[in-house]
Structure 1
Amino acid sequence: MTDTTLLPTIALAATHSTPEVNFDFAAHRLWLKGEAYPENAAAFFRPLIQAVESWLAELPVDAPPITLHVALSYFNSSSTKLLFEFFECLNSFAKRGTRCELHWYYDEEDDISEEFGQELALDFTSLVVLPRPELNAC
């Protein structure tokens, strides 16, 4: 087993079509912020998902809680599919007993994003989904 505190943080600056990424594995805090409509969503998101899956595979069941903060002002359908894969990865891990929180930030005037966050709680029942009407908070 590797020492998960030694995993480097993944930090990517936002571009015009990809979100800012900060996966601080040592702090058990992951976040995505900005817009997500890359030309190739799989090429952007799959390496991130794989890094998280590898990290989760090394964590003990009694690991500290994991928090995922998502503040996306826009995301396209291909990004949605990959986000669901990402959330399912954490949902599966949470089924083992480690608390995983998904903080879903949205603009309080954006009914669609608010409803999307509410649906996440129904789709990923092992995640603690916390909708937050403050898009720029994280």
Structure 2
Amino acid sequence: MDNRLYIPATPDTPEVDFDFDACHLCLRGESYPESAVSFYHDILERTREFLDACKDTEVQVTIELKYFNSSSTKMLFNLVDLLNYSIVRGNHVRLNWVHDEEDETILEFGQELAEDFPDIDFRAMPTQAL
């Protein structure tokens, strides 16, 4: 397996920087691709392969999305579900949910994820509004 998955940001897709060797997965930007399923398919598959190979591993995830549409919401949920499943294998997952401190919608979605997946070490991290 390639040890890194990097996809540069576009106007409608986020930067994906998954450094599997460092156990750090990062999504940054905006997510409203024409087909969220197509965009996230390989990301989810590569993440599943990585997590399947982990045992007793510390995995750090940073999600810093300024905007995402409803189809991206489902893909984010699927990603967090994969992370949650890896906890069963003895991994520790820390999810840094970075949000604009004035954006209640993104914060609330992150809080819903934290409630749905209580085994994940969830940390809401506000940024300063620009």
TM range (shorter): over 0.9
Any idea what the Cα deviations from partners look like across 1:94-115, whole Å, max 9, x if unmatched? 1222110110000001111111
Query: Quick one: distance in 2 between partners of 1:27 and 1:18?
Result: 23
Corresponding residue of 2:28: 33
Higher strand share: 2
The structure 1 segments of at least 4 consecutive aligned residues displaced by more than 2 Å after TM superposition are none
Give me the whole-angstrom Cα distance separating, in 2, the residues matched to 1:17 and 1:135.
Answer: 22
Shift in Å, 1:7: 3.1
Q: Is the 8 Å Cα contact of residues 71 and 135 (structure 1) preserved in structure 2?
A: no
Q: 2:104: which partner in 1? A: 111
Q: Check whether the contact 1:94–1:126 (CA below 8 A) recurs between aligned residues.
A: yes
1:74-93 per-position Cα deviation (integer Å, ceiling 9, x unaligned): 00000000110010000010
- Identical-residue share of aligned pairs (%): 40
Give yes or no for the alignment of 1:132 onto 2:125. yes
**Alpha-carbon deviations, 1:35-94, whole Å to 9, x = none?**
0000000000011000010111112x222x101100000000000001100100000101
Which amino acid in 1 is paired with 2:13? T
TM-score, with structure 2 as normaliser: 0.94
Q: Are residue 50 (structure 1) and residue 63 (structure 2) matched?
A: no
Question: 5+ unaligned residues in a row in structure 2: which ranges?
Answer: none
Match of 1:92 in 2: 85
- Between Structure 1 and Structure 2, how many residues are aligned? 129
1:62 matched residue in structure 2: 56
CA RMSD of aligned residues (A): 1.5
Structure 1 runs not aligned, ≥5 long: 1-5
Q: 2:107, 2:71 → 1: CA distance?
A: 19
Are the aligned partners of 1:106 and 1:113 in contact in 2 as well (CA < 8 Å)? yes
2:16 to 21, 30, 37: 21
- CA positional deviation for 1:135: 7.0
Q: For 2:16, give the aligned amino acid.
A: V
Instruction: Kindly indicate whether the alpha-carbon contact (under 8 Å) linking 2:99 and 2:126 is maintained by their aligned counterparts in 1.
Output: yes
